Chains A and B, each alone.
Chain A
Amino acid sequence: MQSFRLLRTYLGPHRKWAILAPALMALEVAMDLLQPRLLQAIVDVGIPRGDLAFILRTGGWMLAVAAVGLIGGIGCTVCAVLAGIGLGTDLRRDMFGKVQDLSFGNLDRLEAGSIITRLTSDVTQMQELAMMLLRIMVRAPLLLVGSIVMGILTSRTLALLFFFLIPAVLIIVTYVVRKTFPLFARVQACIDRVNTIVQENLAGVRVVKSFVRSDYEAARFGDANDALMQVGVAAARVNAATMPLVMLVFSTGFVATLWIGGLQAFSGGLEVGRIIAFSNYLMQALMSLMMVSMLVMRLSRSEASARRIGEVMAQVPEVPTPTPGDTMTPASRDGRGAAVAFEGVTMRYGDADADPVLRDISFEAMPGETVAVLGATGSGKSSLVHLIARFYDVSEGRVTIDGVDVRRWDERALRAAVAVVPQETVLFSGSIAENIRYGRPEAPQEELEAVAEIAQAHDFICDMPDGYETELSQRGANLSGGQKQRIAIARALLMRSPILILDDCTSAVDVETEARILDGLLAGEAARTCFIVTQRVATAMTAHRILLLDDGKIAAQGSHAELMATSPLYRDIVQSQAPEEDSHAA
């Protein structure tokens, strides 16, 4: 079982508590088991003899035993909590650290949402399991065995009842679980369906409204809702039978105890106190049996969590860090851009037999050059620039920066050398200034404003209530898409990296603003080598060189004029985006 393996590994550092907890629990159980025997002594010895002192003494013992039991119980709880929470904290720490080590390829496969669930609810699940195991999982079996032993000690004949009652409870529980399990799976499926419809209606509310489909949606929801209700009733009704059935077993036990006890009392001199004590042991045994079966069901749920956690921990970063002795960091380049070269690069996502997204790409970008990467969706533009930042590794060939293979670059130096504005804008909570400073927390305010100005963000930031100190709500919900993109551009500019990559990051910025951003960038172009991924010819035209990608291959490269002259595909694209008379006008 994966959950046990995980528990063993992570309880290791908290061994002390993990061992102490069951020991203290054993103390509590032992004390609990003593009580009915003391009670029996009062009934069978104290009362018949009329020995008041004996009764009071035994009563005192019962209180003392209860007190010791409490100490055991609380001690066990404290130890179990320390062990369990220690495990949860360590597990979360290790998992989070692990995720930080993963590369883009790993992250593609494990969706962010699913990692979040694993890191939060799955870990909590394991933490609860550990605490439960150390408490109830110890208590219930101990109590069960102890009650049976004490029951046998109290009366051998009555103890025979265990042989019938325990299997009966087990059969009932197994039956109910078998019966309800598929039903609950169906309930879950129905809940998912209902949630999907609600979710769709919320996300597509404009579509639903503009096509006036409320009645249709209500009917669709009604069907799903009714289905959920019906399965829900069925499941709840099967479940409703559990308690009464188990109660029936319990009460059969009591009646049988009284009847058989009575027979024994009349024939063989079984004391009445023993009958009372035995009923108590019987009750405890059956209750703990119920508890054990509930826990087993619970365990299967934790197993799924342990498996999901294991999946993350088993990930191997796809982009390995270079061996420390093998790293090279090129000499400083005095504020000039870096040279980037692709040499016969082929790249696949995942397996070696997958279709390559880039094939045999070779080109060279001079320091300070601006290169536009143009092509249709899926032509491999983003993959190409990702290789420069080494978000992924090449399958064949090599990518070099200033003549050094990116795989031999020190990771920190490489990240500092390449600034990326990703396609999807991600901002973090905190102030606007903190967000722009993300890559260089120590940058002074003047620099901050200078880059914001280039990114055409300064003006709107100043218009905000607290200017640069304005706090962003979650993921920047208080900004428009275009504003977020401009902050992301400023963030990358502040890095002052010799290489800047703009990955189609101006989609929400209007044309005029985009033009001003690009103008600003090009004004200081010598300082950095710039890659602009785009689908707009107008944007690409601003670059020194255009790489035209088609289906993972370089279809043509050169300046706008060169491509107009040599590439029919390029002319085709230009024509589709700017009609003839306009390109003539240019």
Chain B
Amino acid sequence: MPPKAQRDTAPPPFMHRGGPWAHFQSAPVRAADSRAAVRRLWGYLAVHRGVLAAAAALVAANSGLSLLGPYLNARGIDLIASRAGIGAVGRVCAIMAAVYAALSAITWGQAYLMAGVAQRTVRDLRRDLFGRLQRLPLAYFDRTPTGDIMSRVTNDIDNISMVLSDSVSQITSGVLGMVGVVIAMCLLNVRLAGVVIATTVLMTAILTGWVGKRTRAGFRDQQAALGKLNGLVEETLSGQRVVKAFHREEHVIRQFARANEELREASTRAQVFAGTIGPFMNLSGNLTLAVVATASGVMAIHGLATVGLVAGFIGYARMLMRPLNEIAALYNTIQSALAGAERVFATMDEPPERDAPDAVPVPELKGSVRFEDVGFSYDGKTPVLSDVDLEAAPGQVIALIGPTGAGKTTIINLLSRFYDVDTGAIRVDGMDARSVRRGDLRRRLGIVLQDTYLFAATVRENIRYGRLDATDEEVVEAARVANADQFIHRLPHGYDTMLSERAGNLSQGQRQLLAIARAVLADHSILILDEATSSVDTRTERHIQEAMRRLMRGKTCFVIAHRLSTIRDADLILAIAGGRIVERGRHEELLQRKGFYWNLYTRQFRRAAVGTAKRI
């Protein structure tokens, strides 16, 4: 079965924007092979090697200089305590001011450089991802939900961007800074350093271990409950009219109340644990303060420390605590960004549509098409088409009829080489379709689908999509041939009217007329038409019929036909059922045969006959 229902699975609108719970969605997922993802990302970063080196130098300078702050402060306090004179204090102050000014400048420079690198890198990632998407076969889009692909282009890449611009330099400077602080503290006073380091390590262990573990588990549960509730809300509200029509309001309210209660319980747990991180961090700051003050006080009495040392150590202890917490907090962000990167790269690694190495360009086509024993299956198991043989001479109209799911759309998918045949061959002007360039083939082959896709652009641009170098006059002429000119003139800005997303401001019929105009402009040699079933009103329908007839003139046409008039006028009718051609011939021949076609034909009209007979 062609997964035609794809259109129905468009993502709910709130999923693409990185909404407040977007990060929860990817949080528990980790990259399977972080190292490979990092290596690949480095490939993108390496382009900016020079800038990165400069940024790295700034980060190193930053870490080194920031160590001077508490040391100078300690010096200053000691000078004051020892009454060394205001001149000496002034000198220390001047040096401090210079160091801090330099630090600010360096911090800014490093953020400035990284902002450029990060944005350019994700630009390149987005470009490559989109480029690959353009070359992937239709099968990929059939099996991958649109929402998935969208979230790769948006959420995943956003996460990477965030990590690149902030986290990388934060972590580097954090690690460098921590090493520096430990060294500086040891140089100042080994014993005091030991006390501070022990306290810090202990507090960090408690935070990341006890609290961290519970928080992560809590968020996982909250995420599951939230997902369930959101799923319920989405499903109920998109079917709200049915809920009302069947008077099921109380039932869905009860369902919702259950999910809401589950969410309340799960998120209370998650939030309480997550919420204790703040107070605990505060506690560890205060503990360090108490320990440093007491320990250095005791040492000062024994002449092992000076007063300034107290001030200096408090400063260092802060510098030690911060990066530890930051790294712990960033760990999840980085993990989920790497998992995102992995998904992006996985899409980039999907095998693209590729022409055979010796594929030949297709010149003009005369338009003969032959299917030779074609067999095909979407999943490699269930055959969708078997032993399909058919021949269309240039200029002939071939009508494909048969019940839904019989394989009509598949024949068309194969002809346009959206998929390749499993067995047999399709020949166009005698050439095997697989031996020619796919792009060339499609360019000669026009498709007008039942569900027309229009882009958020002007009417003119949408028609011009058929042939990009068409002049304005040619566009208008094509619209005239397609019977679209009239209604376009009635639009608020004529040809310059912007069509909204999914073209909600046009009727189904009008959209079809635009698609026909597009095809007229493209002037293909082979046409594939998917006739509309019933959603168009009579007047528009007549316009469409007329336009189609003009479009089809002199071209080889394959029509998935629903209208008897089209079928009757066709040069060849192929009745398809269960993936095989069960009958072929012209209208009259097939009627005489009293087989499948005759059955279909009379059934449709039997009803008409019954309906009339009842009244008469």
Some 20 contacts from A to B, beta carbons below 8 A apart, are A32-B286, A120-B233, A194-B126, A199-B16, A202-B150, A209-B416, A210-B445, A218-B131, A229-B120, A232-B161, A244-B108, A248-B100, A265-B80, A275-B80, A429-B231, A475-B238, A511-B600, A535-B537, A542-B610, A577-B541
Kindly identify which residue among A42, A221, A225, A515 contacts B294, using a CB–CB cutoff of 8 Å: A42
Kindly identify which residue among B8, B253, B456 contacts A196, using a CB–CB cutoff of 8 Å: B456
- Interface pair B310/A28, CB less than 8 Å apart: no
Give the 6 A-B CB pairs with smallest separation, nearest first.
A73-B279, A59-B294, A376-B537, A251-B100, A240-B111, A62-B290
- Interface pair B447/A206, CB less than 8 Å apart: yes
Within 8 A of A (CB), among B252-268: 252-253, 256-257, 260-261, 263-264, 267-268
Kindly identify which residue among A47, A376, A439 contacts B297, using a CB–CB cutoff of 8 Å: A47
Kindly identify which residue among B245, B271, B291, B616 contacts A84, using a CB–CB cutoff of 8 Å: B271
Please tell me if B283 contacts chain A, counting CB pairs below 8 Å: yes
| Partner-binding segment picked from A1-9, A255-263, A341-349, A351-359 | A255-263
Please tell me if A447 contacts chain B, counting CB pairs below 8 Å: no
- Interface pair B442/A43, CB less than 8 Å apart: no
- Shortest distance from the beta carbon of B540 to any chain A beta carbon, whole Å: 8
Known contacts A55-B301, A209-B138, A213-B465; is-contact A221 B108 (Cβ 8 Å):
no
Within 8 A of A (CB), among B120-139: 120, 122-123, 126-127, 130-131, 133-135, 138
- Interface pair A586/B609, CB less than 8 Å apart: yes
Residues in chain B near residue A279, CB distance under 8 A: 73, 311
| Partner-binding segment picked from B336-344, B371-379, B482-490, B501-509 | B501-509
Kindly identify which residue among A65, A201, A391 contacts B134, using a CB–CB cutoff of 8 Å: A201
Kindly identify which residue among B89, B134, B535 contacts A507, using a CB–CB cutoff of 8 Å: B535
- Interface pair A120/B107, CB less than 8 Å apart: no
| Partner-binding segment picked from B35-43, B46-54, B91-99 | B91-99
- Interface pair B16/A195, CB less than 8 Å apart: yes
Interface residue SS majority, chain B: helix
Please tell me if B149 contacts chain A, counting CB pairs below 8 Å: yes
Residues in chain B near residue A189, CB distance under 8 A: none
Known contacts A62-B293, A73-B283, A116-B234; is-contact A243 B77 (Cβ 8 Å):
no
Tally of contacts, chain A with chain B, CB under 8 A: 505
Within 8 A of A (CB), among B510-560: 518, 522, 533-542
- Interface pair B508/A259, CB less than 8 Å apart: no
Residues in chain B near residue A103, CB distance under 8 A: 244
By beta carbon, the residue of chain A nearest B281 is A73
- Interface pair A66/B283, CB less than 8 Å apart: yes
- Shortest distance from the beta carbon of B455 to any chain A beta carbon, whole Å: 5
Kindly identify which residue among B12, B134, B261, B418 contacts A206, using a CB–CB cutoff of 8 Å: B418
Interface residue SS majority, chain A: helix
By beta carbon, the residue of chain A nearest B93 is A259
- Interface pair A422/B241, CB less than 8 Å apart: yes
Please tell me if B243 contacts chain A, counting CB pairs below 8 Å: yes
- Interface pair A262/B453, CB less than 8 Å apart: no
Question: Could you mark each residue 405-448 of chain B with 1 if its beta carbon is under 8 Å from any beta carbon of chain A, else 0?
Answer: 10000000000101000000000000000000001001101110
- Interface pair A377/B536, CB less than 8 Å apart: yes
By beta carbon, the residue of chain B nearest A543 is B611
Within 8 A of B (CB), among A232-288: 232-233, 236-237, 239-241, 243-245, 247-248, 251-252, 254-255, 258-259, 261-263, 265-266, 272-273, 275-276, 279-280
Please tell me if B364 contacts chain A, counting CB pairs below 8 Å: no
The winner among A43, A76, A509, A577 for most chain B CB atoms within 10 A is A43
- Shortest distance from the beta carbon of B541 to any chain A beta carbon, whole Å: 6
Whole-angstrom distance between the alpha carbons of A423 and B131 in the complex? 38
Please tell me if B612 contacts chain A, counting CB pairs below 8 Å: yes
Chain A interface extent, by class: 35 or more
- Interface pair B301/A204, CB less than 8 Å apart: no
Question: Could you mark each residue 158-184 of chain A with 1 if its beta carbon is under 8 Å from any beta carbon of chain B, else 0?
Answer: 000000000000000000000000000
Whole-angstrom distance between the alpha carbons of A217 and B542 in the complex? 34
Residues in chain A near residue B112, CB distance under 8 A: 237, 240
- Interface pair B612/A119, CB less than 8 Å apart: no
Question: Could you mark each residue 67-85 of chain B with 1 if its beta carbon is under 8 Å from any beta carbon of chain A, else 0?
Answer: 0010001001101110101
Please tell me if B360 contacts chain A, counting CB pairs below 8 Å: no
Within 8 A of A (CB), among B212-246: 229-231, 233-246
Residues in chain A near residue B608, CB distance under 8 A: 537-538, 541, 578, 583, 586
By beta carbon, the residue of chain B nearest A204 is B453
Please tell me if B165 contacts chain A, counting CB pairs below 8 Å: yes
Residues in chain B near residue A42, CB distance under 8 A: 293-294, 297, 310
Please tell me if A443 contacts chain B, counting CB pairs below 8 Å: no
Please tell me if A52 contacts chain B, counting CB pairs below 8 Å: yes
Residues in chain A near residue B76, CB distance under 8 A: 258, 262
Known contacts A113-B13, A198-B130, A535-B535; is-contact A119 B237 (Cβ 8 Å):
yes
Whole-angstrom distance between the alpha carbons of A195 and B155 in the complex? 11
Known contacts A214-B135, A415-B246; is-contact A113 B12 (Cβ 8 Å):
yes
Residues in chain B near residue A212, CB distance under 8 A: 439, 442-443
Whole-angstrom distance between the alpha carbons of A67 and B280 in the complex? 10
| Partner-binding segment picked from A147-155, A330-338, A396-404, A554-562 | A554-562
Kindly identify which residue among B104, B233, B242, B271 contacts A119, using a CB–CB cutoff of 8 Å: B233
